[in-house]
Amino acid sequence: MIEAKNIVKMSGIAKSFPGVIALEDVDFTLRSGEIHALMGENGAGKSTLIKVLTGVEQPDEGAIELDGKFVQVRSPQHSQELGISTVYQEVNLCTNISVAENIMLGHEPYRFGSIHWQKMNELARRAINRLSLDVDITQPLGNYSVAIQQMIAITRALEVLSAKALILDEPTSSLDMHETNLLFDVMRTLKNEGIGIIFITHFLDQVYQIADRITVLRNGKLVGTYDTPSLPRVELVAKMLGRSLTELDAISKEKSHEEEKMHKQHLVEVKGLGRTGTLEPVDLELRASEVLGIAGLLGSGRTELAGLIFGIDSPDKGSLVVCGEKVNNFSPLESLKRGIALCPEDRKAEGIVGDLTIRENIILALQARYGWFKFLSMQKQNEITEKYIQLLGIVTPSPEQLVKNLSGGNQQKVILARWLATNPQVLILDEPTRGIDVGAKTEIQKLVMQLAEEGKSCVFISSELEEVLRVSDRIAVLRDRTKVAEYSSSVDDQTLIHTMAGEL
């Protein structure tokens, strides 16, 4: 093994934005040949620290050393030249050109004034072999899965930009288990070659699976850097949250008796509902005062099912009965009037309206129901906003803050508030806790259970089984665009996993 030395040493880093201190006196070191997990809730300062390191932002205070030399990272390009490369969650390569072209982009070998294709493919192939990937480099990049694309991005970072430090920002969030392991193999290979890797993720399991050291940030301050074996999981979470875990445990005990809910009113009946090419016919019923969990892998049809019930698409098969009435008119507005609400999966693209204020975002759906000419008075708007900021604990200096400036968890709460303000009977939550910090996650889970207590029917869609199990009274499992099973909440996660995987 190569002797470990510091590749990156950041000391006393401080950065503030108007009204917010993003980083305060943060130290961070990355050694060669280590995988270093950077942990923290949303808003802890992880991304700002990375932006400082990659030259996107300039620090107000503090110094950065690379290989023992002080440097000023002027821009992202400059950081690449210095040997720091970042691979983002969304791969920023071109899917329509070949793998080889992607790897060599901007560094193509030339002969007689035109690209030397043979040599380029040769170089690309050698690079790919280094990570022992099974990829045909002449194929368009788009032919490969996101996981492979990510590894090709890593290849590019290593080979062409000859990176010494690699930053992986949430690389596994859209990968399945097999792909994640593939990526981890690559990461281990690189580690053994002496490359330092900064690994950012929300998945605790993965941190313990692969990271050598963990740095925890909270509210822009450094909590500490620890060797992974010396930091038990519970303590890590406690450090990230700055509080104990009893709150997390308390939730599952609040679950009320299932039996008494069995004969509760059927609010929504889904009979053979489907849409060609989107969802095979599904039967399902939503009852008052209960949480229906929906488990399924990405692409299993869970989002599509939610979309059909909410009227984003019109179904062409089966029927939907809401409160005893058959639905003929499918649109979000009609659903809103029927008392159905949907917190969509893609918070940024389908949920928030970023440049509007918190107040405007919260009243949007209620105002949609009132229409154009019955405009809520400013006083009424402020009342509603205040109420939900308090109720959901939205952290913001002012209700007039633009929603795009909030952290993910708070944005999700704003969208929840938007729908709660319309007082819906049925609340469909599609991945409400994705990409938000542990604290906000617990709060949202609690809220969902509380809403069910109050008589509402909640649908909870999530790819985290543990979460589905904790929150739900019943669990429907989707696979290959249709419902394959329904369980009571006493089901164990092994059964669920096997059902989702199609082994039952």
Partner 1 sequence: MKQTSVLKRISESRLLWPLVAWAMILIFNAIVEPGFFKLGIIEDPVYGKRLYGNLVDIFNNGAPLMLVAIGMTLVIATGGIDLSVGAVIAISAAMGAVLINPALGNELITNDILTRNATNTPLPLIVLANLAAGTLCGLWNGLLVSRAKIQPMVATLILMVAGRGIAQLITNGQIMTIYYTPYFWFGNGYILGLPVSIYIVALVLLLAWLLVRKTSIGLFIESVGINAKSTYYSGINEQNVKLLAYTFCGFCGAIAGLILSSYVHSADGNNNGLNYELDAILAVVMGGTLMTGGRFSLFASVIGAVVIWTFTVTVYSLGVPANALLAAKAVLVMVVILLYSDYIRRWMNQFFERRGQKHGTAN
Applying the rule CB under 8 A, the residues between 377 and 436 that interact with partner 1 are: 418
* 332 near partner 1, judged by CB under 8 A: yes
Applying CB under 8 A, among 368, 465, 484, 497 the residue interacting with partner 1 is: 368
Report the side by side order of strands in the sheet with 69-71: 69-71, 61-66, 6-17, 20-31, 221-227, 213-218, 35-39, 196-200, 165-169, 84-87
Site membership for partner 1, residue 281 (CB under 8 A)? no
According to the binding rule CB under 8 A, does residue 203 interact with partner 1?
A: no
Q: Which stretch binds partner 1 (CB under 8 A): 44-52, 115-123, 288-296, 374-382?
A: 374-382
Pick the stretch among 153-161, 221-229, 260-268, 325-333 that binds partner 1 (CB under 8 A).
Answer: 325-333
Return the number of the residue (172 or 425) whose C-beta is nearest partner 1. 425
Query: Does 364 participate in binding partner 1 (rule CB under 8 A)?
Result: yes
- For tokens 């008052």, what's the residue? 288
Query: From CA 278, how far away is CA 276, in angstroms rounded?
Result: 5
Stretch binding partner 1 (CB under 8 A), from 27-35, 97-105, 293-301, 327-335: 327-335
Residue ranges of alpha helices (H) inside 146-245 are: 146-159, 177-192, 204-210, 233-241
Stretch 285-314 residues interacting with partner 1 (CB under 8 A) = 312
Pairing of strands 290-295, 457-461: parallel
* Sequence-distant (≥ 6) Cβ neighbours of residue 310 within 8 angstroms: 332, 335, 340, 341, 342, 428
Does 156 contact partner 1 by CB under 8 A?
no
**Interaction of residue 369 with partner 1, rule CB under 8 A:** yes
Q: How far is the CB of 341 from partner 1 (least distance, A)?
A: 9
Q: Tell me how far apart the alpha carbons of residues 406 and 361 are, in angstroms, rounded to a whole number.
A: 12
The binder of partner 1 chosen from 335, 410, 445, 472 (CB under 8 A): 335
Q: Which residue, 131 or 358, has its beta carbon nearer to partner 1?
A: 358
Sign of CA dihedral 232, 238, 244, 248: negative
Name the helix (H) or strand (E) containing 332. helix 332-338
Q: Is 342 in the site for partner 1 (CB under 8 A)?
A: yes
Identify residues 232-251 at the interface with partner 1 (CB under 8 A). none
Q: Is 457 in the site for partner 1 (CB under 8 A)?
A: no
Task: Mark 72-103 as b/e (b = at least 16 C-beta within 10 Å).
Answer: ebeeeeebbebbbbbbebebebeeeebbbbbb
- Considering only 94, 333, 501, 504, the residue that binds partner 1 (CB under 8 A) is 333
Phi, then psi, of 489 in degrees rounded to 5: -75, -5
Can residue 481 be called a binding residue for partner 1 (CB under 8 A)?
no
In the complex, the residues that contact partner 1 under the rule CB under 8 A are 18, 312, 331-333, 335-336, 342, 344, 349-356, 360, 364-365, 367-376, 418
